[in-house]
Structure 1
Amino acid sequence: MVYVIFKARNEFRNSRKNLLIFFFRLLSIIAFILTWSYFIFLCLLHFKTNNNSLQNLSKQQQQQQPCRIQSPQSINIDYNDIYWQRFQSSNGTFFFYNAFYDDRTLNGELSTIRILSMIDRISPIKIYCRIWFSNSSNSIITLADYHYIWSQQWGNYEDKILQPFLINCPFPRQKHLQPYFVSLFEKNCTEITNNLQIINNRPLNKNKQSFAVCVKGLEFLHDDLSIRLIEWIELLNILGVKKIFFYEFDIHPNMSKVLQYYQNETKLVHVQKLSLPGSQPNFPLERKKYLQQKIIHRRQNEIIPYNDCYYKNIYLYDYIVLLDIDEIIIPLQHLNWLDMIYDLEKYFANINQSYDALSARHIYFLDDLDENNNTIQSNLSIVPSYLHMLTHIYRSSNYTKTGSYVKSFFHTERILAVHNHYPLICFSKCQTREMNVTLAHLQHYRKDCVYLLQKSCQNDHRLNRIRDTNIWRFKNSLIQRTSLLSRKLNFLL
C-alpha cells in the first residue's frame, strides 16, 4: 500500500516536471519564432526603405540631369504669313522676322544675336535664347533683353497691338565657332517651335563699300510708276549708290519688270518680298486699305524692314540711307555722295566731333509749282517730259523745320536701331549732325504736302517758290540711261 502511494507521488512529480519542460520548450520555440520574425521584419523594412530611397535618388538625379535638347526641325516651326515665326508665351505672342550676328567693335567683349520682332505687349516677359553653332552640336543659353524700337508719344502704346522690338542675346565671343541658329523660349525643357538662321553677311575681300539705299515695302498695286522708278534708280547710281534694297508687298507688273531687270541683269537691286505678321491682312486689296487707314500701325510695321535692311548690311557698307522712291538727297557742292561725305568726315574729325548719322533737310518739289512740265529747254538739250525729277525744277522756298522729315546717312558701326528719319538707339547717346542746306538737301517730289502739313502747305510751301536746277548737273547721263532702259523694256517706242 505504501509502495503504491509512493509510486503514485513519483509519477505525479515526473508528470509535472515533464509538463514544465514541455512549456519551457514551447516558450523557447515561440521566442525563437518571434525573434526571427522580428529580425525578418526589420530586414524587410530596411530593404523597402533603402529601395524607396534609391528610387527617390534616381528620380532626383533624373530631374537634375539636363534635358536632351535638339535643334527644332523645320516641320515643327510655327510659321506665320510665310516670312515670320510665331512664339506663344504665357503672356503675349511674339513674331520673329530675322536674326543677325553683331560683333561690331562697340559691342565690347560680348557678341550679340539681334532678333527683329513684333510683340503684342509693351513690356514683354523674360525669355531665353538658345544659340546653336554651325560646326558643333553644342548650344548655349543666355537671357534675352529688349530694345523697344518705337516711342510712346507716337501712339499705339498699348498691349494687344503689335509693337516693334529688337531682342538681344549677348554671349561671349567664340573664336572658332560661328553662331548658326537661335531659338527663343520661356521655360527650359519645353518644345521649341522657332528657329531663326542667323544672318552674318560679310564681304569676301573684307572691305566695305560706300552706300546702300533701303526702300520700305512697296505698295503700288495699280499705279504704274515704272519710268519714274528707272529715273530714280539711275540717279542714285550716278550719285554713287552701290546697291538698292527693295521690300515689296504688291506692285504694278511694269514696276516689277523694272526691278527684276536690275536684280538679274545689273545686280544693282535686290528685292525682298514682305508680309504683315499676326492677324493683319495680307490679301492685296485689304492690306492696301489697312495700311492707308491705320497710319500708326503702318509706321510700326515699317520699322521692321528698315532695320532688317540695316542689319543685313552693317558689314558690307559704310552708310545706309532709307529713302522712298519720290525723294532723293542731292549734293549741292559735289557731284556724288562719296566726295560730299568724305569732306564731312574730315570736317568733323578736325573739330573732334563724332556722329552716328548725317541728316539732310527736307524741301518740297510739288507737282503744281512748275510753269510747264512738258519740255524744258536748257543748254540746247531737251529734257523729255516723261522724266519726272528732271522736269520738276521749282521748289518751295521754305524748308520744313529742322529735324522734320529729314533723311539720314546712317553710320553702320555706331547704331543699334534706325527710324525712317534718324537713329533711334545707338551704342551711346545718338548724335545726328545736320548737313548745311548749302551742302545738300532732300528733294521730295509730291502732288501735295503730307497730311500733317496740309493746313500750312499753301502758305509755307506753295506761295513762295524757287527755280532749282541743281539736278540738271546729272541730266545728260540720266536722260541717256533712263531713256535707253525704258525703250529696252518697251515702255517707250
Structure 2
Amino acid sequence: MMVWLRSLRAPLCVCVLGSLFLVLLFRLAGPPLQDDHKALLEETRKWRAELDLLKLNLERHKDKDKEKDKELKLEAKLEPKLEPKLESRPEPEPDLETLLRSNEDENWAHGPECAPYPRYENLEFHSPHFQKTQHGNLTYYLYGAYYDRRPRVAELVILAMITTCTDNHPPTYCQMWFEGETLPELVPLHESKLAWFPQWGQGEGVPFPTLLTFQMQSPRQPQLVALVFGNGCAVPQNALKVIQPPVLEEERVKAQPRLRTGICVKYLRFPDVDISERLVEWLELMRLLGAGKIRAFDIGQLHPNISRTLAYYTRPEDGLLELRPYQMLPTFDGKTELCRQLNEVLLYNDCLYRSLYEFDYVAVMDVDEVIMPLGRQRSWPDLLEELEAADVNCSARCGYCFSNVYFPKELAPDPKMESCFYMLAHVTRVAEHLDPALAAKCLHNTAYSTVMHNHFAIQWRESCGPQHVDVEMGQMQHYRHVDILETLVKPPPKLDDNIRRFQKQLMRNVRAVHRQLGWPGAT
C-alpha cells in the first residue's frame, strides 16, 4: 500500500500545481475587483523597487571588489620597487675609528702585502684633531686630507703642521686606499706648499702650516690616505679620511645663476666678555651681503651666552654658521703670538678646501670686519659680477682685495641708535684708508686660490694675482681701535653711514633673532 502511495506522489504534485496555475490564470484573465487590482499593482511596484535596490547593491559590491583587486594588484606591483628605495638611503658616513676597525679583521688588512691597511692602534693622536708622525728630525702634525679636482690632473692635498719652513722633505709617499679594494695606490710627493713666509717669523721646533700635494694616478677618489716616508710599502702610522667633493651631477642641480659667497673666520676666543649682540648684528649683516655660510672654529673659550647665541645659527633650520671644534697645538716660550698666527693660517686653508665646490668666492675675515660694497651695489654677488665684467685685462682672477679703514670705538657713536646695534651706531671713521698692502682683506676665487693667508692668497694657479679694488667700489670696514692714535683727530674723521642702506632690514632681522633667543627687552 505504502509503495503504491509513493508512486502516486509525483502525479499528485503535478495536478495540484496545475490546478493552482489554472485558478491564477482565470483570476488574471477575468474581471478582477478594483481593490484587488490596485493591491496587485502596488505589490508589483514594491517587488520591482526591491529588485532594483538589490541589483544596485550587488553592482556596488562588485565595484568595491574590483577597486580592492586593483589596489591589491597595484600594491603587488609597487612592493618590489619600495624595497630597493629603502635600501638605497645613504647611511651616515663612518668616523675614522669605525672605518679602520670595520676592516681590521680582513686578511688583507694585516698581511705581508704592500702595504698593510692602517690600524687604529698604530695611530698617535696629539689632540682630537691632529695625528702625529715623525721621520728623522721632522715632526708632522696631520690635520686633513682633501680631493682637489681643479687641476688638469686631480690632486690629493694633505694639510699639516710640519716643523720646518723649508721644502726639504724626505722621500714621501701617500698610500691611497679606495673603498672595497685591498691594495693601495702608492703616489710620491708632487709638491709641498708653505702657507707662510719665513721672514714673517720662525723658530726651532715650531710647526708651520704646509700643504702636501700628490697627483692622482686614476680618476677615482680615495676613501682613506696615509703618509709614509722612505718606502712606499711602509706600515702606516697615520690615516686620514678624505673630504670628498660633491658629485658633478649634484653640482649641476644645485647650480645657481648668481655667484655663491662664503666666509672663513678664525677660531673664536671670547671667554669673559659677552659680545652676543655684536655677533648677531654682524651675522645678520653678512647674510644681507650674500654670505651663504660662515665657517668658524671653537677652541672652547666662549662666554656661555655667546655659545647659546651661536647655537641658534648652527641649527639645521638656519645653517648660516658652521662652528667646528679645534684644539691648538702647544705654543713655544717666546713664540706665543707666532704660534697663534700659524694656527690661524692652518684653519683658513682648511676652510678654503672645504669650500672649493660650495662657493665661488670666500672672504677671510674677523667678526669685527665687513667687506662693504659701495656705490650702487648692495651685495657681494653684485659687486663681484661688476668687478669681473670690468676686469678686461685678465681672463681669470684669483681674488679681489679691499683697503682697510677703521671705524674706531673711540669716535662717539650715534646717541639716537640703540646700543644693540654697534655698527649702525658707529658711522664715523678715520679720514684715510690704510695702504692696500697693509691689513687688506679679500674675496678669494675658489677656482684658482691654492694657499691662503689672513690677508691675501699666497699661491694660486692658472690665473692673475689678486686685484686691489678702488675705494669708490668697496672697502673693508674695521670696527676696532686704531693702531695710530693720531689718526683719531688728524686728518679730521669723516661721517660714513653707508651701512644705513641696510638699516631697516638689518634692524628687523636682528630684533627677530633677539625674540627667538628670548632676550629681555626684545621687541
- Given the two structures, how large is their TM-score scaled by the length of structure 2? 0.72
Q: Within 5 Å, which residues of 2 pair with 1:85-484?
A: 85-104=131-150, 107-108=151-152, 110-122=153-165, 123-144=168-189, 145-156=191-202, 158-174=203-219, 177-188=220-231, 189-202=233-246, 204-206=250-252, 207=255, 210-249=260-299, 250-264=301-315, 265-277=317-329, 279-280=330-331, 294-333=336-375, 334-348=377-391, 350-370=392-412, 372-375=413-416, 383-428=417-462, 431-446=465-480, 448-449=481-482, 454=483, 456-459=484-487, 463-484=491-512
Is 1:488 the counterpart of 2:516? The answer is yes
Tell me the amino acid that sits aligned with residue 216 of structure 1: K
Structure 1 distance, partners of 2:116, 2:508, is 57
Tell me the SS of whatever aligns to 1:317: coil
Tell me the amino acid that sits aligned with residue 154 of structure 1: W
2:57 maps to none
1:324-357 per-residue CA deviation (whole Å, 9 max, x = no partner) reads 0001011112111111111111111x44453111
Q: How many residues matched?
A: 398
User: Which shows bigger deviation, 67-76 or 239-248?
Assistant: 67-76
Structure 1 distance, partners of 2:171, 2:209, is 17
Q: Contact (CA 8 Å) 1:91, 1:124: kept in 2 or not?
A: no
Q: CA deviation at 1:66?
A: 7.5
Tell me the SS of whatever aligns to 1:389: helix
1:223-255 per-residue CA deviation (whole Å, 9 max, x = no partner) reads 211010000000010111111111111211111
Percent of pairs identical after alignment? 27
- Given the two structures, how large is their TM-score scaled by the length of structure 1? 0.77
Distance 1:151 1:430, change over 3 A: farther
1:457-484 per-residue CA deviation (whole Å, 9 max, x = no partner) reads 4147765210011000000111111122
Structure 1 distance, partners of 2:123, 2:468, is 45
Tell me the amino acid that sits aligned with residue 163 of structure 2: D
Distance 1:434 1:388, change over 3 A: same
Tell me the amino acid that sits aligned with residue 227 of structure 1: E
Structure 2 distance, partners of 1:228, 1:477, is 16
1:17-46 per-residue CA deviation (whole Å, 9 max, x = no partner) reads xxxxxxxxxxxxxxxxxxxxxxxxxxxxxx
Tell me the amino acid that sits aligned with residue 327 of structure 1: E
Distance 1:471 1:353, change over 3 A: same
Q: CA deviation at 1:167?
A: 0.8
Return 5+ residue gaps in structure 2 as ranges.
1-110
1:51 maps to none
1:25 maps to none
Tell me the amino acid that sits aligned with residue 246 of structure 2: R
Tell me the SS of whatever aligns to 1:471: helix
Cα RMSD, aligned residues only: 2.1
Q: CA deviation at 1:373?
A: 4.0
Structure 1 distance, partners of 2:160, 2:294, is 23
Higher relative contact order (CA 8 A, sep 6+): 1
Return 5+ residue gaps in structure 1 as ranges.
1-64, 282-289, 376-382
Structure with the largest fraction of strand: 1
Distance 1:120 1:228, change over 3 A: same
Tell me the amino acid that sits aligned with residue 433 of structure 1: Q
Q: Contact (CA 8 Å) 1:118, 1:163: kept in 2 or not?
A: yes
Structure 1 distance, partners of 2:426, 2:490, is 14
